[in-house]
Amino acid sequence: MAENTTSQAVSVHAQWSNRTVFILAATGSAVGLGNIWKFPYIAGENGGGTFVLVYLLCIALIGIPIMMAEIMLGRRGKQSPINTMKALAKQENRNPGWVWLGWMGVFAGFLILSYYSVIAGWAMSYVFRTAGGLFLGVTADGVNSIFTDLVSDPERLLAWHTVFMVMTMTVVARGVKNGIEKAVTYLMPLLFALLIVIVLYAMTTGHFLEGLKFLFTPGEIDGKGILIAMGHAFFTLSLGMGAIMVYGSYLSSQHSIAQASILIALADTVVALLAGLAIFPIVFANGLEPGAGPGLIFQTLPIAFGHMQGGTMVGVIFFTLLVFAAWTSAISLIEPAVAYLVENKGFDRVYSAVLIGFLTWFVGLGTVFSFNIWKDHTLTIPFLFENFSFFDTLDYLTANIMLPLGGLFIAIFAAWVMHEQSTKEEMATYPALYKTWRFLVRYITPVAVIVVFLKAIGAI
């Protein structure tokens, strides 16, 4: 299933050593904090096994076609998303204004990392809190107090935010081969190994079947559940933020985009399902509420870790897993902007990584302060949201507006703006497979993403 292309150029930033490394890197970008808590919860609450089937269908109709398009654009352009869109618009004799799509993706990734780093800092702090036995025998009120004390202390949040950004900058500064590739080669297998360890532990709790039933028993799913499945299928693969596009620019023309996209989507889904099998037996074994949403990580699970045998060890493994998932995602979020500076300003990787890292860290201060000294200060944008904190504003604008629009216009550019011959050169696999992708990305995927966008902004 090899793919042929007339473009044999190699990115100035280097090239992945092999397809496996690319799949690990892209999966690392896709697997983040949301995979660990969000997918298991929304699956269990919206029809269990029925939701999983609908979600997989949405992955096939929305996620994989857009991922293939984004990788294809990146590999054909061989540059940062901004320069890729500029070059492809010129190559296809199209309006140069398409460069804004690259800018929006890079900017979205920059904004997401600014607050993602703060949340990742919480996970890092919990590794040490759990290891120190802080949750042993603690009550629900005690856990809530510990969490409240953390987020209400701007100095502590700032310290962890800083440590995490330094970790991210350090990897990206070392480049594609010596930095990103080496990091994901170690971090992703470790992430899977840690997840398996917790699943094996969950099997000893006596409530593994209960967790299995919560996730996979077929149930009724309504229109709202289908919309949730559509939305998560899009957001879970890190689409529309420049990360997959820039990673695609480092992919050899000898590798199949279709095969890689399918494997990435499968790996991302497996992680989400394993997370559910790891978390819910522990939750049920301790009589806790499975529908705790984001609070599941920092306010529900610590209660379980504090009361179960071996809980300290399992808790340390779990929060380390979270840090690894956040780290691999953060690396992909900062890379598009760093690549742009290297290409356009003549800066070296180290200077570019430090500069973008510092700017991201600085914007992240707004999120740090959102939970304490700015918590009474809110923003309002008419017709969109009212009384949102700085953090809520960034989260809403990126997740609900920038990413869906980015994914939509990636599909439109790949399927309607680029000439068919250009896309065939990058993805000329079996004719039936190519025709299926082209049909989906021209007609089905854009409509689905528009529905996701309208739901996200509350229009439906």
pLDDT tier at 376 (50, 70, 90 boundaries)? confident
Kindly state the helix (H) or strand (E) to which residue 381 belongs, with its residue range.
strand 379-381
Q: Tens digits of per-residue pLDDT, 125-145?
A: 999 999 999 999 888 889 989
Q: How far is CA 336 from the centre of its chain?
A: 15
Tell me the C-alpha to C-alpha distance, in Å, between residue 125 and each of 128, 147, 418: 6, 10, 47
3-state SS record for 113-168: HHHHHHHHHHHHHHHHHHHCCCCCCCCHHHHHHHHHHHHCCHHHHHHHHHHHHHHH
Q: Which residues of 314-342 are buried (b: 16+ CB within 10 A; e: fewer)?
A: bbbbbbbbbbbbbbbbbbbbbbbbbbbbb
3-state SS record for 169-217: HHHHHCHHHHHHHHHHHHHHHHHHHHHHHHHHHHCCCCCHHHHHHHHHC
pLDDT tier at 4 (50, 70, 90 boundaries)? very low
Q: Tens digits of per-residue pLDDT, 394-412?
A: 988 998 889 999 999 999 9
Q: Tens digits of per-residue pLDDT, 21-47?
A: 999 999 999 998 888 878 888 888 888
Angle among Cα 80, 66, 429 to the nearest 5 degrees reads: 95
Helices and strands (H and E) in the chain: how many: 23, 2
Q: Tens digits of per-residue pLDDT, 45-82?
A: 888 889 999 999 999 999 999 999 999 999 999 999 99
How high does pLDDT run on average in the chain?
Answer: 90
Pairwise pLDDT comparison (297 vs 197), residue with the higher score: 197
What SS3 state is found at 48?
strand
What SS3 state is found at 406?
helix
Cβ contacts of 151 within 8 Å, gap of 6 or more: 122, 157, 371, 372
Nearest to 101 by CA among 408, 344, 337: 408
The class level of CATH for 19-456 reads mainly alpha
Whether 43 and 55 have beta carbons less than 8 Å apart is answered as: yes
